[in-house]
Amino acid sequence: MSLNLYNINGKTKNTYDAIVIGSGISGGWAAKELCEQGLNTLVLERGRNVVHLKDYPTATNNPWDFKHRGALPLKVKEENPIVDRCYAFDESAAHFFVKDKEHPYIQQKPFDWIRGYQVGGKSLMWGRETQRWSKLDFEGPARDNFAVDWPIRYDDIAPWYSHVEKFAGISGNRDGLETLPDGEFLPPWELNLVEKAIQKRIMDNYKDRHVVVGRCAHLTKPKEIHLEQGRGQCQARNLCQRGCPFGGYFSSNSSTLPSAAKTGNLTMLPDSVVHSIIYDDKKGKATGVKVIDAHTKQVTEYFAKIIFVNAAALNTNLILLNSTSTRFPNGLGNDNGLLGKYIAFQNYRGSLSAKMEGYEDSYYYGRRPVTVIMPNFRNVYKQETDFLRGYLVFITATRAGWGHPTEGQQIGAAYKDAISEPGEWDIYMSMQGETIPKETNHVYLSKDQKDEWGMPLLTISVDYDENDERLLKDFLQQGAEMLDKAGCKNIIQKDTKQAPGLDIHEVGGVRMGKDPKTSLLNKWNQLHACPNVFVTDGACMTSTSTQNPSLTFMALTARAANYAVSELKKGNL
């Protein structure tokens, strides 16, 4: 039966000023900005509805409230080998993660695709690290001759970084580093005694390496703009992946979506699987979105003047590839054949562990929700190594053994005494490496396999290369050297050999650029060939830096949404 038979009178019933596909970090920001600018906005979310506070079933559970004390039953782990590799997939948060069997995809090469299909998307259980990119990140591809040149620079996005930081609430210290620009910060979290010792020893030994507390989307001291959102101070519970009943960290559910709803301009439709974007050959523009009800499979079309695609990087690629028409037989805007290509991610494979002696009489309290970081120090101003780009370093120091004695019988009075006293200090260091976007790292639609909604399965062909291996080797060598100079003992290097994807920082496929022949989007995140369609999630990224990407998604989205409203009011869209 023709899909269009379901849509008699559709245009009169289902027309909006704007449609946003996806309700995660970037989709929530698109909704907020568009609604606050007066646009009647429809947000389409393929997953279930999740209401702030109401739908966080485990948020205040005690450890003994969980049937398996937080662990997942073996059967669940066996049925979900991909998502089970994610650190946050446990008994307290499994309900926020996509299960492997429910939403299959094809791995031409191993790729751990971690997803969250619900209102709020992965903003409910993200890592909340929020660093600005530096001017060096936006200049990188042109300087080092990879990917294509970004069509924007740091100065173009800096005011929008400030815009989203003020509203979301970002804690951090003003460190004055060119590699890690300062922002609009709430008070920072504090390093513990051993981290301060490591900080001093590394910075004394290396003048180009700066150890600082991380920046994160937590309300250490809420301002009026946060209290007006109904949010409160972070309680340092570090149970964030359960959903925060205090609104202490930023999520779409606690912040942007309620703000959009307050305007009266928001319509939210969960359980709405977007099939494709509708392109009108005669009008020469996109006119709407074809949607499949997640449960009934009924097809409905919704119409709007502008469309924001924020389905998360790989799903955004899937939707655009599936949006075919006479004008675009290979996917919406895909005149150059590059849609789905030049995927990048961040390399997390390397880590080191060590011990620190001499601080056995020192303690710390609380559960700080952010780590200590060292911005990239490799190839910062020019090419200096046998690999391109560099890596950010994470560092933490914790008391070992507290509640987890590793020796002796784990039962009886001796064990009870042992778990009441802390032991020595454990040091952990890990990497976040920049990968180079390559045409061979790509995604495409299966020609013969479909999901239960009739959508082609996404095929993922993404892998490491020699540059990634050299970068990893350098981190392990430099990390061991730094820990040794910091006074650490028993230093152990580790390569997890994990597949790409587990970083959950995949980007690209619909990259921004100056030239329509080599990119899909312009400097305002508009499709070159279909300007009333905007892509502002990870799919739009031309490259990935060593910094975390989410804050940049937010800033790009707010910038593009305000531009879209301006152009719409001028009659240009």
How does pLDDT run across 365-387, given as a tens digit for each residue?
789 999 999 999 999 999 999 99
Same domain for 561 and 495, yes or no, is: no
Would 177 be classed as within a structural domain? no
Residues 331 and 400 in one domain: no
The answer to whether 205 and 254 are in contact (CB under 8 A) is no
Do 425 and 399 form a contact (C-beta atoms < 8 A)? yes
> In the prediction, which pLDDT does 400 show?
66
The answer to whether residue 492 sits within a structural domain is: yes
Domain tally, the chain: 2
Q: Are residues 439 and 429 in the same domain?
A: no
CA distance 489 to 251: 39
Dihedral angle sign, alpha carbons of residues 519, 523, 524, 525: positive
Give the model confidence (pLDDT) of 246-301 as tens digits: 999 999 999 999 999 999 999 999 999 999 999 999 999 999 999 999 999 999 99
On whether both 97 and 148 belong to a single domain, the answer is: yes
Long-range residue pairs from 84-88, CB within 8 A, at least 24 positions apart, any chain: 85/112, 85/498, 85/502, 86/112, 86/114, 86/502, 86/504, 88/125, 88/241
The tens digit of pLDDT for each residue in 402-460 reads 545 555 666 778 777 766 777 789 999 999 999 999 999 999 999 999 999 999 999 99
- How high is the pLDDT of residue 36? 98
Average the pLDDT over 328-348 and give the result. 98
Average pLDDT, the chain: 94
pLDDT at residue 550, rounded to an integer? 98
pLDDT recorded at residue 401 = 60
Residues 57 and 198 in one domain: no
Measuring CA to CA, how many Å separate 346 from each of 156, 349, 508?
24, 9, 12
Same domain, 159 and 292: yes
What's the pLDDT score for residue 3? 30
Residues 113 and 260 occupy one common structural domain: yes
Residues 339 and 401 both lie in one domain? no
Residue 255 lies in a domain: yes
Q: How many helices (H) and strands (E) does the chain have?
A: 12, 23
Confidence check: pLDDT of 2 > 50? no
Distance, CA of 573 to CA of 565 (rounded, Å): 9
Q: pTM of the full predicted structure?
A: 0.95
- What's the whole-number mean pLDDT along residues 312-325? 98
Domain endpoint, select from 447, 482, 499:
499
Measured CA to CA, the distance from residue 249 to residue 168 in angstroms comes to: 8
Domain membership of residue 418 (yes or no) is yes
Q: What is the pLDDT of residue 364?
A: 80
Per-residue pLDDT for 8 more than 60? Answer: no
Rounded to 10 degrees, the C-alpha dihedral 235/239/245/250 comes to 80
pLDDT value of position 407: 59
pLDDT single digits (tens) 52-61: 999 999 999 9
Look up residue 359 and give its two tokens.
Answer: 């601080």
By DSSP bridging, strand 185-186 and strand 170-171 are parallel
Q: How much is the average pLDDT of 354-372?
A: 89
- Asked if 304 and 155 sit in the same domain, the reply is yes
Contact 238/88 with Cβ under 8 angstroms? no
Q: Are residues 317 and 199 in the same domain?
A: no
Mean pLDDT on 216-228: 98
DSSP E strand stretches across 147-271: 170-171, 185-186, 212-213, 266-269
pLDDT, position 404: 54
How many beta carbons lie within 10 A of that of residue 190, not counting itself?
A: 13
How does residue 5 score in pLDDT terms, banded at 50, 70 and 90?
A: very low
Residue 417: per-residue pLDDT:
73
Asked whether residue 88 is assigned to any structural domain, the reply reads yes
Q: Which amino acid appears at position 230 of this protein?
A: G
**Which residue range is the domain that position 280 belongs to?**
1-172+249-344+435-461+503-573
pLDDT in tens, 164-192: 999 999 999 999 999 999 999 999 999 99
Residue 388 forms part of a structural domain = yes
* 269 and 304 share one domain: yes
In angstroms, the CA 306 to CA 285 distance is 9
Q: Is residue 244 domain-resident?
A: no
Q: Quick one: pLDDT band at residue 518, thresholds 50, 70, 90?
A: very high
For residues 349 and 501, give the distance between their C-alpha atoms in angstroms, rounded to a whole number.
11
Of 462, 481, 351, which Cα lies nearest the Cα of 87? 351
Q: Which two tokens stand for residue 262?
A: 């307050």
Asked whether residue 20 falls in the same domain as residue 95, the answer is yes
